[in-house]
Structure 1
Amino acid sequence: MLDIAEELDRWARQGREFAVATVVATSGSSPRQPGAALAVDSDGTAIGSVSGGCVEGAVYELCQQALEDGRSVVERFGYSDEDAFAVGLTCGGVIDILVTPVRRDAPAREIYASAFAAAAQGAAAALARITEGPRELLGRALLVHPDGRDEGGLGGHPELDRTAASEARAMLDSGRTGGVTIGADGSRCGQPLTLLVESSVPPPRMIVFGAIDFASALVRVGKFLGYRVTVCDARPVFATAARFPEADEIVVDWPHRYLASTEVDGRTVLCVLTHDAKFDVPLLERALKLPVAYVGAMGSRRTHLDRNERLRQVGVTELELARLRSPIGLDLGARTPEETALSIAAEIVAARRGGSGVSLTGAHTPIHHDPSKGTVGRIGSVA
């Protein structure tokens, strides 16, 4: 539900009562992933989505019911022949949804408010909630911070909170959202528990090297995808705010020197658009040794072969070279800067999500890369 945190933060500060439906587990071809949410306030206003439109009507009603009775519930929506179209989830997947009322009298309201505020401000925090276990514990929340602070609790044994905090902090460290199972010994409830941990982390970085027209288009696409975008170029006449008004940061420095001094992580993408050996080789020599998500370099196939040979001469290994996406982007037949930016962004998304980059028409690969199968229509409560 942290995907709609900015609006929920505003609702909480206004004192509104609302219910939040959050996807907690999926299988098969489900349109949204764990953490996706839909919220409904007491006036009937709805924001967000849990299924891209498939089951929104049924989930809307569940939120209204939760607001009325004050109870959290987990419901499963899946595929079955007789009611496939009754709800609308006809894609063949299964989604489990946790519906939680955030009323003024809710014991965890302050914790939810803190989670919304942290996510809205771009601060790092992870929210843990029980999605499978004793019904009376549904809706309780534990919020953990990178500095070791914990807020709230899951309402069970203190050992449960310690175990949950440890698991949530591990998820936060890697910026992941998903389910965690705690065994009966760790839960102290006499049975295993399943948690949904939602991590709120600062946006991932996209660093674009080379202040050219293609870079301007890529900055816009990067922002659209949710990246914090930096443009770096050694030439001050080109690296200006006037040319890249949508960039979060513009750096005038030699690319390899800047990369050596800035922070990157496993979500960072590096796009090298300079296609000039004096910039590319020292930059890529360093970039290919870093634990980043993506390294791509622009240039013709002849430029690519020449660059690879230069990189070998400075000691870059074949294993490191295999990480380089070059020529950068997917084959879309792109010509314009905007089309080229789209091809680069498509390759970044494919690398992040495990996509093949081939056309879905006529393909036999799963759309959402989940080979499991499930059932559509409302099956009922799993809590």
Structure 2
Amino acid sequence: MAPLWRHTPVIHSRHLSRLLGCSVYLKLENLQISQSFKYRGLSLFIQEVKEKHGSSAHLVIASGGNAGLAAAYAAQKLGLQCTVYIFEGLPLDVQTALEDGGANVQVVGKNYVEAFAAAVAHVARDPDAVMVPAYDHPTVWSGHGSMIEEIAAELPKPPKAILCSVGGGGLLGGVLVGCDKVGWENVPVVALETHGSACFYHSLLLSRPSDPPYVPPDFVTPVKVSDRITLAKIVPNSRVSSLGASSPAKEVVEMALDHPGTVKCVTVPDELSMLAAMRIAAEHKFLVETACSTTIVPAYHEGTLERILGAPLTKDDSLVFIVCGGTKISVEELEEYKSDIKQMPPTKVYMNIEGESMYLGELPVLSSFLTMS
């Protein structure tokens, strides 16, 4: 069964390499067929559905946009029916893109949880319906892991670290599965979220043994799901909506705890993700949504990667940033970010690294590069 996904480029970033004093590579999943990494794992899952259930299978998925688009494109390619449940308040172009991809779009509820409940009800009443998991399935992680195989084939040696964003854990699960497959078990992985979408960050700290035990902030509800794993349940409060899972995949938390190279969890403020999206556009000449630019934030703040990795970077080191893609971005939104940040009152900003806060400076001073644009 030949994969449907595209082999995406790994490029050397002159800008980030100069900033960090090492070789920095970007894996451009924004060039994937549905414009995000999600097409890899979801297309593989859908191929297996067709192989098992035949052409009568009716795919059903709940999504805030990117997962639904990946499912719709794969379904269209394979000649399958696809219904995508989205929720109120999403930009009109999300629905338009889904419909252009051949999906039957249903708008239900005010958030992902309510859209997901409607999708579950649909599957219960339709004997041909198959629920497509947005991030929580081994086949999805296996498909996403193919990007690590592509990276390993192009890099001369394992990187010092791989950095990716994390929400529910689909991308991180794929990175960890891929590392196992190519023999990169000892490569550290840095998983980044925003402060207001940090369900994975808090889940890992709650599940990792510590003395004294980790105490999460009040907005986190700990849910013990096994003797080993406690998941953080949150109501996401972030402009970076694509990272807005309410709780992560239990199995990916387990994989993160077991990864020999360690998984370091980091959270950043929304504003730094917005600034990073603007800098990527200015320096690399492509648009990425803030769920993607969150991954790049540590590169733009001196000393943060050394603090995260616990070791200095040298010219012989290399880093890989997964540019995960996504469609929720436009030139107009970048201009809106710019205006919002310029109008901010002086605000101290921090990066959270494994339960500790690192002071980065003050906004809008940190955004001084905007005065040059």
Tell me the TM-score normalised to structure 1 length: 0.25
CA radius of gyration, larger in: 1
Tell me the TM-score normalised to structure 2 length: 0.26
Which structure dedicates a bigger proportion of its chain to strand? 1
